[in-house]
Amino acid sequence: MSTSLRHQTVLLREAVEALEIKPAGTYVDGTFGGGGHTRAILEQLGPHGRLLALDRDPQAVALAHAIQDRRLLVMHHCFADLVSATRKAGVAAEEGIDGVLLDIGVSSPQLDEGARGFSFRYDAPLDMRMDTTQGETAAQWLLRAGVQEITEVIRNYGEERFAFQIAKKIVAARGERPLTTTGELAALVRATVWPREPGQDAATRTFQALRIHINQELQQLALVLPEAMTVLKQGGRLVVISFHSLEDRIVKHFMRDQAAPDRLPRKLPLRAAELPQPELRLVGKPRRASAAEVAANPRARSAVMRVAEKLARAREAA
């Protein structure tokens, strides 16, 4: 079965509707993944519309290049440097982008292809890199990191209460033989802790934490949000789908802060027109996948979509 057929895009209709596609507009899909959102955006674009699709996973980029559409530009590029990507794509700073869509986290193809090393369901090399062309693998990091560093990663990114015990076992085990496969790591974790939720594998939180750390996922998310603000034009939409609380917290706080005017000392002698204006307008409430979508695709259960629209600053409106 092909990667594109295996992939089920989460909140597909809702995300594309939230972008409010203009036929001649310019859009960015910052996380091509399996291509579901990209294809849906192209269906709504007119002949003069443009779509820039980014992904740091070479396999996703290869899949994107298979789409024959002159309106689509595909780049092997991390979304965190969104300004650079749009400039390379030929979008002038004064032109701006009509909408940015970010579907955060690991994709179904990455999880389902055992050789990538993301999942404990397969025994494969312990890699976990989204961009396999650069950076160290999870196995390489676990071979050099100390107990404290491993503990902090597993605790902070996996919210694992047994992080210290797992870290000690990893460091002790590598003294005899380095951990090189997903099966070895999963077995070590299972022998150390037990799962919190019925039906959850004991290795779930540790694997999530290592994946987030190896790919610097939360840092990349924190970087791309202000970049999106820079490239969006007035009225442009920012749509973000996240899959766990650590991601959603970053998105929620950013959008909330940008939607609130800057706080000034009380009783400043300013006219209403001189008061700081918010950068964003929140659009609707956070959306979650429907019961029908979760039944068809259990991975949609934790998805949260937040939408915001860029406003004109006072100096731009003057």
Binding residues: 35-37, 55, 79, 103, 110
Helices 204-214 & 182-190 angle (0-180, nearest 10): 130
Q: H or E segment at 41?
A: helix 36-44
The length of the chain in residues reads: 318
Task: Identify which of 302, 283, 305, 299 has the alpha carbon closest to the alpha carbon of residue 9.
Answer: 299
Coil, helix or strand at residue 133: coil
Lookup result for tokens 């955006």: 41
Task: Identify which of 205, 178, 203, 177 has the alpha carbon closest to the alpha carbon of residue 121.
Answer: 203
Taking a C-beta distance cutoff of 8 angstroms, is the pair 241, 11 a contact?
Answer: yes
**What is the spatial distance between Cα 43 and Cα 111, in angstroms, rounded to a whole number?**
27
Query: Which residue positions form the known binding site for S-adenosyl-L-methionine?
Result: 35-37, 55, 79, 103, 110
- Residues in Cβ contact with 249 at an 8 Å cutoff, skipping those fewer than 6 apart: none
- Our separate counts of H helices and E strands in the chain read 15, 8
Taking a C-beta distance cutoff of 8 angstroms, is the pair 247, 105 a contact?
Answer: yes
Please list, residue by residue across 105-135, b when 16 or more beta carbons sit within 10 angstroms of its beta carbon and e when fewer do: bbbbbbbbbeebbbbbebebebbbbbbeeee
